[in-house]
Structure formats: C-alpha cells, structure tokens
Structure 1
Amino acid sequence: MAALVASVVQAVPAIAVAAPAAEYRDPRELSSWPNPKQEGRKHDSPKAAGDFRPLMGADAGKAASKFDAKTSKEVGRAEKSVDYVNPDGTRTTVLSKVPVSVRDDKGAWRPVETRLVEDRGSKRVKTELHQLKPEFAASAEDRGLVTLGPINLGEPGQRISVALEGAKRVARQVKDSKASYVDVLPDTDLEYEVEPGAVKESIIVKKPTLTSSWVFRMDTGSLTPSLQDHGVLIKDAKGKVVASLPPIVTWDSSGSAKDNKAPAQTGGTYGLKQDGKTWLLTVSVDPKWLNDKARVFPVIVDPTYTYGFNNDDESRAYKSDGFQCTNCGIAVGNSKSGPGGGDSIWRTAFRHDFTPLFGKNIIGARYDFWRNAQTGSNLSWQSNLYHATALNINGIGQFLASGPIGDRGSIQSKALTDFIAGKVAARDNSTWFMLTGSEGGDWSYKNMQVNLIVDHGTAPPATSLMSPADGSVLTSLTPTLSVSPVSNPSGDGTLYCFKVATGADGQSGIVVDSGCITSNTWTVPPACSPTGRATRGPC
C-alpha cells in the first residue's frame, strides 16, 4: 500500500487591534447564550468496528472519534463530562464547557433537565434536575417571579429571586423549557428559557417605545452582586463567583438568514444599586439606537443568568476593535459591526479541563461546535483551530485542524489527536486553543458552544486466523470463523469483529458481519451467507 502525505502550512494574518478605550464599549452582537439543548444532534456513523488505525499512525481523516450518540453506551458522568463505551470497545469522554450533570438526592450524577413542569401546590413551574433549580411564578407581578437556587456552589440554602418592577398581572405561558409573560409591560414581553448551564432572559420589545430601561429587583441574601467587565458577577462570602450575567446583547429583526444579512445589533449596560436588603438591577439600551427609524421590530434584549465556573474551563472572545469578553461563547468571523457596517473580526481562545483524561491513552479526538445565537450567520464558513500561544487576538500558534461550520460542524485531524494526546500524557492542564472563522468581507459571525470528544483505550495486539485456513475453498454456507484469542494490555475486555464480504477489499459488495462480540469464534447464520440473499449489518 502506498501512502501520499501532504503537509500544509497556513499563514494567518495578524489583526491590528485598537487599544482598548477607557469608556464603555458595546459588546454588539456577542451572544452569551450557554449550551443549547442537544437532543437530536446528529453525528456521522463510525466506520468499521475494531478500527484502531488512529493509534497506528493513520492519515488525518482516519483520526476521528468513534463516538456515536445513537450507538455509544453511557457508562459514567460528572458535572461537565460524560463517559461512553463505543461499539468497537473503545471508550469516549465528552467534555462540555457548561454543566451537563447534576447530583440527585442520593448523590448520583444525573443528566441536567430543562423541561418545565408545574407544581400542583404552588402553581410554579420548575425543572426536575438542574443545578440552578429555576422556578417561575404563575403571574408576572409576583415578587418572586423567578427564583434560582439553592446555589450548591454558594452559601448553603441560598436562593436568588428576581422580579420585574412595574410588571402587569399577566398569566404565565409554558412550552417545554420556556416560560413567557406576554405584554408584561406595554408592547413588551418577557421570556425565560432554561438551558443546561443558564436561564436565558429575553426582553422582547414589539413596537417603538419611550422605554429603553427595565428595572429588576434582586434578592440575593448573603450573596453579593457587583458590576465587572460590562457584566454582573454574583459572589459568595468567600469571594467565589457562583453566578453571573454576561454582557447584554441586543438585536432587531432586520436580519435575513436567507440573504445572509446581519441584523442591526448593539449591546447594553447594567446598573446596580442596593435598596435595603435587595438590589435594583437596571438593564438599559441606547434610546437613540432603539428609536432609530431604521429599527425593525421586535427588538430582543438578552441578559442571561449563568453558573458553573471553573478556571480550568473557560473562553475569551476577542474583537478587532479591542473589546474582549470572558465566558461569552465561542465567537468567530466578521460581524460587520464596525463604523458604517465595516469589518469587525472575532477570534476566541478557549480551553477544557483535561484532568478527566489524565492516565488515559488518547487515540482519537474531535471538536463539535454548534451555533447558539440568533444573531449569527447560519451559512457554512470555514473555521481553523490552532494552539493558542498568547491570550490576545493574535495569539495564533500551531495549526491543528480545520472544517466548515454552519449551524453545527466538527473539526478533527490526526494532528489534533496527537497534540491532545501529548498534553494529556504530560498531565498539562494549561493548554489553550484558538478558533478563527471566515475573515473575508462577508458577514460570517458566529457565536457557538463546543464539546471536546476524546476517544481513549489501547489497541489489542493483532490476532491471527485459525479457521478456515487462508485460501480455503468452502462448500458450507454457514462456516465457522475463528481467530486466536488475545488480551488487551489496558485491562479492558477484547471484542472480536468478523466480517464476510464479496468485495476484494473485504469492505464492499454483499457484506455481513457479526458486530463486535466477546467470543473469538463466530458461525455465519444461514440467512447471512454472502453467496445467498445476505443482509447488511449484524444478522
């Protein structure tokens, strides 16, 4: 077999970055939505079972993860990771940047739930398992309109309550993970959506209005809110951040997904004032922008309550005008939000907590991205992944992988697998990556979430054919196939995967296989004989 190997060296232009101004900069289109619901996400099916070619130095295209959401079996989980066994016997750990698990009343990790269910006694709606424990009142004027907690990461038993000042008495509407209050203020709706790592709040302004500020009363008990980096941090008595509101993002309805047209976008400001034992949180948008004749309504104002903080698992988004934001999603591409709609480039540095992988032999890796903001382009644009050598917009290091990303997409390569394997082997948990998007003249901005999917295990030694002998001519339609048994050096069980095919490559034509089984012997069932009417897949 001959192999053709090509090496690609990518030149990345440095971006001239304006010095950050002392005054406030709008975060523009930067979305802070955390992880969206992931039900129904599709992944490519794995290739032939028992394929350990990534471990043996295969080309980049063969270094993909064998994880498949439909066929891989969950065997364990933690707050931000889930472990699986794949059909070929390898194992996969999926690392998330937002909490995907919460402990139940017995202390076991369970998947985060976001669907809202009404409590018959209180008439409030709540989730079954969610670390924020969000609840929503039956009517909008309730002083405990939204309650969060007890926050397990903060003071024991501490809850946070939020209410909109001046809200009308309007009934709550519920659909799946959303709680809505229609016309809570004149021509204004209030909507909440529960996500695995957040409660997303949307103020929906349906018509031109003189109101450009909205006041929420927050009761945080012994927790203390403070303004920082255009957002709000909520800390416990020891100064640990237990919840936050990232910078506000605001957009109108002038955008067009069909025409790849950016909506008009701006940011917003928070105001914070103590009022007795509670706090008044003011959410404001520039009234000139809001009442501009060019505005297309409705306009969405989006502050979001998030939790789940870990310095080993964070992201920093950089914009070419000097603005940057921590833990505000993976922002890349051209947002066209410069003066006069000019170019404005985003890049994001991010990292995952590698400690769940320490001590494991990494044999495959991929990054899965999905778009989580209505303000971003849903077209497919090429993205490039690098090792980040500095925490700034030009901290571009070794090129690792690339791939197109639309509403979702994956990036994988042998170089990426080898790079992560080296860091894990060295127990290095300080590694940052840098993602870039399309940086041409078109609107290509995306704000995304990301999972790192890592396969680990050890390939068993090669087995040898025992029966039938190589080159044998068989008359039986149900031959028994047998190979020598082998042991896995990692201690994991060994699976044997038999395949019979009419194609000379052993992969094509009329194909039948045993699936991956624990026995080193398999008899082809009569209905599966490739000389008869065979079926594809396990028989």
Structure 2
Amino acid sequence: MLAVAAVSSLTTSFSTAGSPPPALADPEPAPTHTAVTEFPRPEDPDAPLRAAIEEARKQGKPVAVEQVYTETSRTWAYPDGHLTMESYAGPARLRQADGSWAWIDTALVEQDGVLRPKVAKADVEFSTGGGGKPFASMERDEQDQRFALEWPAPLPRPVVNGNVATYTDAAGAGADLVVTALPTGFRHDVVLREKPSGPVEFRIPVQAENLTSSKTKDGGLKLADEAGKTVAKAPAPVMTDSSGRRPAVRQDGRSPLVRQRVGKIDTRVIKDSGRSLLVLAPDAGWLADPATEYPVVVDPTTTLTLQNDVQVYSGPCGGDSTSSDQ
C-alpha cells in the first residue's frame, strides 16, 4: 500500500506542477489499408485417384488412372477403394502429342531412307545400306547433342528382324555387323560366324556433336558434354563364344548352366586426321584357340544413351542394365 501511495502522489505532483497547457486530444488516426495477398488454392494431388475410385465404384470394375501414369508405371483404381501400380525397370510407355500413352515398340521400320524404331525414347536411326553416312546415330535435339558411328566401308542393305538390323559380311567374309534398337538407345556387335584367318581390328569413326568421346580407366567408352558431365558410358568391351548357348542335358533331365567363354578386346580412342576413331582389337590368341566355339560375338558394349542421368549398356552376357552414375 505504501508503494502504491507514493507512486500516486508523485504522479499527481507531475500533473499539476508548472500548470502546463491542457493536452490536446490526438486527431483521429487515418485509416490504414492492410495489403492482403491471395495465394492460389493448392491443387489436390490425390484428386485424380479419388475420382478414379469413385468411377470404378460406378462401373463396378477397375479403372485406369491415366492422369498419374509415368513412363515407368501405370496405376489402377478398384471399386473397393484400393489402388495398384505396375512398375517397370525402364521406360515402357511414352506420352504422345495428343496426350495419350503408347507402348514402346523398338521394331524397325524404314522412313525417309533410314531405319527407325516405331516407338522409342531415344531418337535413333540406322543405315539402310551404302556408304558416306553413319550406320547408327542418336540425337537429343533439346541439348543439340548427337552421337553417331560410321563403318569404314560401304554397307550392304541390312536384313531386318524386329529391332535388329544385320549387315551380312560387312566386317569381312563370315563377319556381320549387327545393330539393335533399344528403348533408350542402341547397341552394335560384330558377329564372327567363322574363325578368322588372322588377327582382326575394327576402326570405327565416331561423330560426337557437342560431346567428347574418351576411354575410361577400365577400358570402356564415355561421352561427356561441354561442361565435362558424363552423359553416357559403356564398360570395357568383351567377346563371347557359343559354348554357353548349347547346354547339355543331364541324365536327370535338367539343363545345367553353361558359362560362356569370354575374351578380351583392346580398346583405344584415337584421333586420325582430326576425326575420332574407336579402335577395337580382339585377342587374336583367344580367337584362334581350338576351345573357342563359333559364332563369336564381338560386343563393343557401346550401347550408349543420351538421356539425362541414365546410362544403358550391355554386360558381358548381352543383358541390359541401368545406372545413374555421373
């Protein structure tokens, strides 16, 4: 109570001392305008799914949810409210210009004097024969990048079977050039149908627009853009014989797994008259070995793709793999 009284007395003395002029009331403050920012209502990412479930209930059957399709997955809604997704290891469907989706189909068709896959993610072209043009090329228009391989001699018209084009005897008598279209690129092999009479070497001119080709530490091939980023690569090339393609049948009726014999290929990327050459020299001793069974597939494994952050390549046994290594 004492403290309160003292404060009250002090306040009174300040208000009366010196008889100051009476305080004028502050004028009414001008109204202030508060800026209100209106943000758009966020879209509901699950709206297509809920709508599809409702439609599935109406129809009494599963409904495809195409709004959430991707190149590697499909989603279905069911009348009981659950969803299923089909996933694929790589691109399986591509969105078309009209918004619809089409299954990838790498079967080759002839258009404008070249062979192209019907539906593929990579813009790939193969030669229909002759000389003076690449036997295989791949482009990415938005990056203005192009990778192409030439053959040092004119090519015969290829025999086309699905996604495979075979240029018979292109690499010499009994040696075929075989090119295969893939969903995200291509691969090429040389198939030696019979034992060569001596050492063989393949010198393949390489075209790389806005790309630099070079040899990797493990003997493979890589392509880098102007910033030095690796956009495609392949492991060291190998060659395999036919020993693993004819498994013997055991007495119990089972077919045992037979490993293919694998030979080495010396790989170099050189400059010749200002042009890049991919030089492949298969192991001559391995080719001449009586244990080597023909045909032999010389697999340069240059199954390269110009897709962002994805490399597709062939392994020693011809299977396709994917990697995100940069």
TM-score bracket, normalised by the shorter chain, equals 0.5 to 0.7
Q: 1:448 to 1:104 in 2, by over 3 A?
A: closer
Q: Cα distance, 1:213 vs. partner?
A: 2.1
Does 2:72 match 1:85?
no
- Deviations for 1:35-57, whole angstroms, at most 9, x for unmatched residues? xxxxxxxxxxxxxxxxxxxxxxx
Q: Cα distance, 1:282 vs. partner?
A: 1.3
Cα distance between partner residues in 2 of 1:163 and 1:106: 36
Cα distance between partner residues in 2 of 1:159 and 1:236: 11
Cα distance between partner residues in 1 of 2:179 and 2:269: 21
Query: The residue matched to 1:268 in structure 2 has which SS?
Result: strand
The one-letter amino acid of 1:207's match is E
Aligned partner of 2:228 among 216, 219, 239 = 239
Cα distance between partner residues in 1 of 2:76 and 2:169: 49
- Please name the residue that 1:270 is paired with: 267
The one-letter amino acid of 1:253's match is S
Query: The residue matched to 2:122 in structure 1 has which SS?
Result: coil
Q: 1:204 to 1:151 in 2, by over 3 A?
A: farther
- Deviations for 1:74-113, whole angstroms, at most 9, x for unmatched residues? 624334x213115565334444443335454568765433
Contact 2:302–2:313 (Cα < 8 Å) also in 1: no
- Please name the residue that 2:90 is paired with: 98
TM-score (norm 2): 0.65
Instruction: Map 1:247-326 to 2 at 5 A.
Output: 247-255=236-244, 256-257=246-247, 258-276=255-273, 278-302=275-299, 303-307=301-305, 308=307, 310=309
Cα distance between partner residues in 2 of 1:83 and 1:242: 28
Aligned partner of 1:220 among 188, 208, 222 = 208
Instruction: Map 1:477-492 to 2 at 5 A.
Output: none
- Please name the residue that 1:196 is paired with: 183
Q: Cα distance, 1:297 vs. partner?
A: 0.6
Contact 2:166–2:179 (Cα < 8 Å) also in 1: yes
Aligned partner of 2:147 among 156, 160, 166 = 160
The one-letter amino acid of 2:131's match is E
Instruction: Map 1:512-531 to 2 at 5 A.
Output: none
Does 2:149 match 1:177?
no
Cα distance between partner residues in 1 of 2:190 and 2:263: 14
Unaligned runs of 5+ in 1: 1-70, 315-326, 332-372, 375-446, 451-539
Unaligned runs of 5+ in 2: 1-61, 248-254
Q: Cα distance, 1:247 vs. partner?
A: 2.4
Counting aligned pairs with the same residue, the percent is 22
Cα distance between partner residues in 2 of 1:211 and 1:109: 49
Q: 1:116 to 1:330 in 2, by over 3 A?
A: closer
Query: The residue matched to 2:271 in structure 1 has which SS?
Result: strand
Q: 1:279 to 1:207 in 2, by over 3 A?
A: same
Contact 1:99–1:196 (Cα < 8 Å) also in 2: yes
Q: Cα distance, 1:287 vs. partner?
A: 1.1
- Please name the residue that 1:498 is paired with: none
Instruction: Map 1:99-498 to 2 at 5 A.
Output: 99-102=91-94, 104-105=96-97, 110-119=102-111, 122-139=112-129, 141-150=131-140, 152=142, 155-156=143-144, 158-165=145-152, 167-186=153-172, 187-209=174-196, 210-228=198-216, 229-255=218-244, 256-257=246-247, 258-276=255-273, 278-302=275-299, 303-307=301-305, 308=307, 310=309, 373=317
Cα distance between partner residues in 2 of 1:329 and 1:144: 21
Cα distance between partner residues in 1 of 2:178 and 2:314: 21
**Relative contact order: is structure 1 or structure 2 higher (C-alpha 8 Å, sep ≥ 6)?**
1
Contact 2:221–2:302 (Cα < 8 Å) also in 1: no
Query: The residue matched to 1:184 in structure 2 has which SS?
Result: coil
Q: CA RMSD in A?
A: 3.2
Q: 1:304 to 1:267 in 2, by over 3 A?
A: same
Cα distance between partner residues in 2 of 1:231 and 1:141: 27
Q: Cα distance, 1:202 vs. partner?
A: 1.6
Cα distance between partner residues in 1 of 2:176 and 2:314: 25
Count of matched residue pairs: 247
- Deviations for 1:174-228, whole angstroms, at most 9, x for unmatched residues? 1211111011122100111112133121210111112432111111122111211
The one-letter amino acid of 1:301's match is V
The one-letter amino acid of 2:236's match is P
Q: 1:147 to 1:106 in 2, by over 3 A?
A: farther
Q: Cα distance, 1:170 vs. partner?
A: 1.2
Q: Cα distance, 1:277 vs. partner?
A: 5.0
Structure having the larger proportion of residues in helix = 2
Query: The residue matched to 1:289 in structure 2 has which SS?
Result: helix
Q: Cα distance, 1:279 vs. partner?
A: 1.2
- Deviations for 1:88-140, whole angstroms, at most 9, x for unmatched residues? 65334444443335454568765433111111xx3211124323211111115
Cα distance between partner residues in 1 of 2:83 and 2:200: 52
